[in-house]
Each structure stands twice: as C-alpha cells, then as structure tokens.
Amino acid sequence: MSTATLPASNKSWVQKLPIISHLKMSSGLQRGMLVSGLILTSLFLSTAIFAPLIAPFGFAQSGDANGDFPRQAAPGGEFIWGTTSGGYDVFSRTVFGAQTAIFVIIAAVVMSLFLGVLLGLVSGYLGGWFDRIMVVLADAIYAFPSLLLAIVMSIVISQGQSTVFGGVMAAAISITVVFIPQYFRVVRAEVMRLKAEPFVESAQVIGASPWRVMITHLLRNATRTLPLIFTLNATEALLTLAGLGFLGFGIEPTSASEWGYDLNRAMSDATSGIWWTGLFPGLAIVITVLGMTLVGESMNDLNDPRLRRFSRKKAKRITQAGAGA
C-alpha cells in the first residue's frame, strides 16, 4: 500500500511535520502556491545564512585597496546593482539585509510564541478570575498599533541611537506585545475544549498536578495551528522593522544593513532618476513577504477541509482505499 493511502497513525513523524504533510495534501493551484512560497522563503533563508559568502563587499564597506567606491554608480561591472549615495554596494547591502530581517523575525516570534502559549495554557486550564483578566488584557492590547509601539520602544531602548540591538529589539518587543494575544487566544480556546476530554479527566483522577496535565497532555494537542500563525506573524515582524527604518527609526548603515533604512535614503535618489538604490531593497521586502504569505495562506487553506482541493487521481486513490477497507 502506498504512503498516500496509509492512515495518519501509521505515518512516520517526518510525514506528520507541518510542511511535509501539507505538501502531500495539496494539489493543483494550492500546491503551486505552497511550492512557490517555499522556494521564495528558502531563497530568503539561504541568503541570510550565506550572506558573507554571497556578498562581494561588507554591508558598510565604501572602499577597497583601489580607493573609495563611486557614489550612485549605475549597475554594471564591479557593482552589479550599483552603489548608493554613501558609496555602499547595493547588492551587498541587500544581501546582508536578509540577516537583519531574520534576526528580528526570530526574536519577535519566539518571544511572542513562548509568552502567548504559556499564558494561554494557564488561562484556559485554570479559568476563573485569572482567565477573565487575561481576556480583557488581550482585547485591550489589540488597540495598540504595532508600528507606533515600535517607534516608542525604539526611543526607549536605544535612546535615539539607531543601533543593531535597538532597532531589532524595538521591532521584536513591539511585535511580541501585539501578537501575544493571537497565540493566547488560539491556545486558550483549544485548552478549554480539550480539558473536558476523557484523557485529561483521567490524568486528573490519578492525581496528576495541573502543570503536568498542561505540559504533558494539553500542550501538544493545543499547538497544532501555531505554524500557520508563525508564518503570518513573521511577515508582520519584517514589515514593522522595514517601517521603522523607512521612518528614520531604523538601524544606521554602519551598524547593520536594513532594507527599510535603504529605502528611506533612496527617496531623494528617485527624483534624480537613480532607481537602483531603492528598487532592489524594495524587491527584497516584497519577495520575502510574498513567500512567507503564500506559505501561510496555503497552510490555512489545507487545514480547512472546506477549502482543501484534491486532484482527481488523489481523490480516486482515497475512494479506492476506503472501498478496500
């Protein structure tokens, strides 16, 4: 019997991983969207990991042994994407910008995941006054615009100095605060549903502590939809960092490369017909956000049986497997 017809319980843990399982379920346009998103996201991750090997120059390098780099040089020759008004290589800064982007995504999403899941577990399981307070706080946090909060945090953390730590942590903390309610609500709803299940009641009867019940029995079953929220929040973290840089609250070019800051500096170039200083950082943002959005939306469709589409061959195999059983 092929793996396509194996029941879920007989599949290996690799086949149950979010991306692998969604690829096996997808077909047609849904598979095309998922594969395209994975390719674009893999390109972003590979660029961030191998940036020192890909970029011909440093992100803040404006000269070499032959002298200073030309300012606002057109693409071609040694500088394939041209240079900026500060004499930086556009290609190198765009490549190194992927590293800064992935730093803020990891910091923001990991912090919001940890706090949101923890609070959702405790609130959903214990209920009572603690649950009511957390729900009210979660609703109140939705009123805070993430970009405005990021600007405030940038000023508080970095004291007006645009450093790598200040820029990344400002975006990360703002995203953490704003997105904790999303993870909190998802986990809380699942915990409230699962705590009435027989396996949870059995654990309580034999004397398992509340923490043991939450960690051992509820955590794994209440976090199945989190990979989808992760992909969507990752794009928001990237856009928040780019928004900070574009508004002038980002990272100085000598500290790290950041796409939003480069777009801000390229605004004056555009009026002079110098298009390359803003085109490539802008495309990097669009491609990265598009890739992660395609992955997230495809996973969302495939998690919903009403939106999931099967190819004729796959539907035929499933029908035959059901008839054979």
In a domain, 56, yes or no: no
Domain count, the chain: 1
Q: What is the pLDDT of residue 54?
A: 92
Q: What is the pLDDT along the chain (325 residues), one digit of tens a residue?
A: 444 444 444 556 555 666 666 666 666 677 788 888 889 999 999 999 999 999 998 888 888 878 888 888 888 888 899 888 888 999 999 999 999 889 888 888 888 888 888 888 888 888 888 888 988 888 888 777 777 877 777 777 766 556 677 777 777 787 788 788 888 888 888 888 877 777 777 777 777 777 777 777 677 776 666 777 777 778 888 888 888 888 877 677 777 888 988 898 888 888 888 899 889 999 999 999 999 888 887 777 666 555 555 444 454 554 554 555 5
Tell me the residue length of the chain: 325
In a domain, 70, yes or no: no
Report residue 156: phi and psi, to 5°.
-70, -45
In a domain, 36, yes or no: no
In a domain, 216, yes or no: yes
In a domain, 323, yes or no: no
Say which residue the tokens 């899941």 belong to: 117
Reduce the DSSP state of residue 71 to 3 states and report it. Answer: coil
CATH classification at residue 216: 1.10.3720.10
Q: What is the pLDDT of residue 7?
A: 47
Q: What is the pLDDT of residue 282?
A: 92
In a domain, 61, yes or no: no
In a domain, 157, yes or no: yes
Q: What is the pLDDT of residue 288?
A: 93
d(CA 86, CA 318): 61
- Across the chain, where does the E strand assignment appear? 63-64, 67-68
Mean pLDDT value across the chain:
78
pTM: 0.77
Here the tokens at position 25 are: 């379920």
Do the Cβ atoms of 236 and 112 come closer than 8 Å? Answer: no
> What type of residue is 4?
A
Q: What is the pLDDT of residue 2?
A: 43
In a domain, 115, yes or no: yes
Expressed as residue numbers, the domain containing 180 is: 94-315
Q: What is the pLDDT of residue 5?
A: 44
Contacts of 120 (CB under 8 A, 6+ apart): 183, 184, 185, 186, 187, 188, 190, 191, 222
User: What is the Cα 64 distance to its own chain's centre?
Assistant: 36
Say which residue the tokens 């949101």 belong to: 116
